[in-house]
Amino acid sequence: MIIVLKQDAAEEQVIALKDTMSDRRLSIQDIRGESTRIFGLVGDTSGISEDSVMRHECVERVMKVSEPYKLAGRRFHPLDSSYEIAGRTVGGGAFTVMAGPCSVETEEQVLSIARDVKHSGADFMRGGAFKPRSSPYSFQGLGLDGLELLKTAREKTGLPIVTEIMSPEYVEIFRDDVDIIQIGARNMQNFSLLTEVGKLGKPVLLKRGPSCTLDEMLMAADYILMSGDSPVILCERGIRTFETATRNTLDLSAIPVLKKKSHLPVIVDPSHGTGYWDLVYPMALAAVAAGADGLMIEVHNRPDKALCDGQQSITPFLFDKLMRKVNRLRATLAENDA
């Protein structure tokens, strides 16, 4: 429910309205514009009639929100969100690139890749310490030892780190050690994990589940947002369809749809989205053209020797080539928009 306040509303009347809504255990988003002020009510508003709200003298009008998500939507937050994370801007017109290996393997590997992607213009180092794998026999990651290697790479290169959390038992460690906490596709609807991570107040990268709709993704984002003040970044990483030519089907239409529905930044992972290294380059450029706020790219110095997803990883050489092309494409698009 959205309550639009009168421009000349007395503050004591506004406080009385707030108190009334708080008594109903509703979360209140107090949004102030240049000439308007609205309350966004989050929670079960089914028992509140529009007439009962209109009885308050400070209220101009009341609108019901039909979307199943509230905090991630544009009704309560019409302007694009942007975040300052470790000295980098995400969203709000900035373009963010996260790059690195699917899985952390050795200190030499992590440092080499971190230096290469930083040189090519990456903003964040991504790397998996804990790896959710479909097969129980596949490499599961180095765990906390892998996280230590990521921290070493950050210390020596200055690149902030992005890595995936698998269990609520590690939330305190991730709060202290990780710059952006990733919720992987398999955990997008792990609501207890979303709630615990949301309480940390740390930036969260939320990946779309392989069989989830965009509305379901935004509702998952609401779990994080309503738990605290954690900034949320959405990530399209491909969905499961009947097509077998690629690992997943990268849903590029999700970019403009999400940006229409939500104020949250949207980045794209063409590595998982396609599953093949030679498709990463064209699909990354397509994501830029479609209006993505950034990219997540898997980069490995020896893809043929990678312990995880080597077939979808590009080399540092190709990543550098891609970054040059991305920058030229963005410059061209900016000129055309001017």
Q: Rounded distance, CA 16 to CA 206, Å? A: 37
C-beta atoms surrounding 273 within 10 Å: 27
Q: Rounded distance, CA 249 to CA 242, Å? A: 9
* DSSP count for the chain of H helices, then E strands: 11, 14
Torsion angle of C-alpha atoms 166, 269, 195, 94, degrees rounded to 10 = 130
Contact call for residues 153 and 164 (beta carbons, < 8 A): no
Q: Rounded distance, CA 66 to CA 213, Å? A: 17
Sequence-ordered list of residues with C-beta below 8 angstroms from that of 274, at least 6 positions apart, any chain: 238, 246, 247, 248, 250, 280, 283, 312
**pLDDT tens per residue across all 338 residues of the chain:** 889 999 899 999 999 999 898 888 888 888 887 778 888 888 778 788 888 899 999 999 998 877 889 899 998 888 999 999 999 999 999 999 999 999 999 999 999 999 999 999 999 999 998 855 555 545 556 788 999 999 999 999 999 999 999 989 999 999 999 999 999 999 999 999 999 999 999 999 999 999 999 999 999 999 999 888 899 999 999 999 999 999 999 999 999 999 999 999 999 999 999 999 999 999 999 999 999 999 999 999 999 988 888 999 999 999 999 999 999 999 999 988 86
Sketch out the chain's domains with CATH numbers: 2-63 (3.30.70.1140), 82-337 (3.20.20.70)
Which residue(s) pair with 128 in the sheet? 103
The residue written with tokens 């007395």 in the block is 10
